[in-house]
Amino acid sequence: MIMVPSIDVERGVAVKRIGGVKGTGFKLGDPLKIGVKLWEMGARVIHIVDLDGAERGEPVNLWLVKQLRREVGDDLLIQFGGGIRTVESALKAYWNGADILVIGTAWTENPSILEEVSDIGVHVLASIDVKAGRVAVRGWRSTTELTLYDAFKLLEAFKIYGYLVTCIDVEGQGVGACTPLAAQARSLTKRVVEYAGGVKDDADLRTLASIGVDAVIVGMAFYLGKLGVNPVFWHGDTRLEVKR
C-alpha cells in the first residue's frame, strides 16, 4: 500500500474542506508549488481533485495537471477527478497529463461511460463516495439510493482499473478512517481499491494496509503534520503502475 497526497483545487487555490462543504477548512496556497514540493518530498502518486469541475460538471483546473506534468516529468503518477462526465472530457484530462481518471457522478447516470473510457486506453477508477450509507453525487451535494454493495454489484460487470471509496462522513476531519467501509470494499473486488476519508495518523495507514487497500488518499492530517511520512508509505508495494 502507498500513501497518496491530495491537492484539492478551488478557484486556482489548493484548499482542504471539511466533509466537502464549500467554505469550510482552510487554504493551502499555490497548488502547483505544492505539487512540486510533494514530488520533492518523495510522493510518486498525487491525487488532484477539481472542486470547481465537480460543481460545474466539466473539468476546470486541468491547467494544474498540465503544468505539474511539465515540471516533474513522466515519473509522477497523476490521478485526476472532478467533472469528468463525458468521454470527451476524459480524453481532455488524459491529453493534459492525467494517468488515472476518477469518475463518480457520471457512472451513476450512465455506467457504460466507465468502459467507454477504458476502451480508449485510459485507466479509470470508479469513485464511490459514501455518505450516511448511500452513494453521493454531484460534488457530494446529493445522494442516491445506492449502497456500497449495490455500487460494486453494478460496477464489477464493467472493465475498469479499480475503485476509489471515500467516506464523506469523516472526510477532512482527521477523526479516523472508516475501516469497516474500506474492508467491505476490499472484500467485494480483486481490482485496485483506494480509500479516502478521515485518516488521522500512521496507525490508520497501517490498519488500512492490513486490510489490503492498495492506496490511501491523505489530505487534512497530512497537511496538518499528523502523519509521520514513513518512507514505506511513499514507496510501499502497490499495483498503481501505469505506463503512459
Concerning whether 129 is annotated as a catalytic residue, the answer is yes
Asked if 7 and 14 touch (Cβ cutoff 8 Å), the reply is yes
In this predicted structure, the answer to whether residue 149 has a pLDDT above a threshold of 70 is: yes
In this predicted structure, the answer to whether residue 5 has a pLDDT above a threshold of 90 is: yes
Q: Please tell me the predicted confidence (pLDDT) of residue 230.
A: 59
Given 50, 52, 99, 129, which residue is catalytic?
A: 129
Concerning whether 201 is annotated as a catalytic residue, the answer is no
Q: For the segment 16-66, what is each residue's pLDDT rounded down to a tens digit? A: 988 778 888 889 999 999 999 999 988 889 999 999 999 999 999 999 999
Q: Tell me the mean pLDDT in the region 76-86.
A: 95
Q: Please tell me the predicted confidence (pLDDT) of residue 10.
A: 97
Q: Which of 175, 119, 235, 52 has its CA nearest to residue 64?
A: 52
pLDDT bucket at 148, cuts 50 / 70 / 90: very high
In this predicted structure, the answer to whether residue 111 has a pLDDT above a threshold of 80 is: yes
Q: For the segment 152-207, what is each residue's pLDDT rounded down to a tens digit? A: 999 999 999 999 999 999 988 878 999 999 999 999 999 999 999 999 998 999 99
Kindly state the DSSP code that residue 24 receives in the 8-state scheme: E
Q: Hey, which residues does 40 pair with through a beta bridge?
A: none
Kindly state the DSSP code that residue 170 receives in the 8-state scheme: G
CATH number listed for the domain at residues 2-234: 3.20.20.70
Q: Please tell me the predicted confidence (pLDDT) of residue 6.
A: 95
pLDDT bucket at 235, cuts 50 / 70 / 90: low
The C-alpha atoms of residue 183 and residue 187 are separated, in whole angstroms, by 6
Given 8, 50, 52, 214, which residue is catalytic?
A: 8
pTM of the model: 0.92
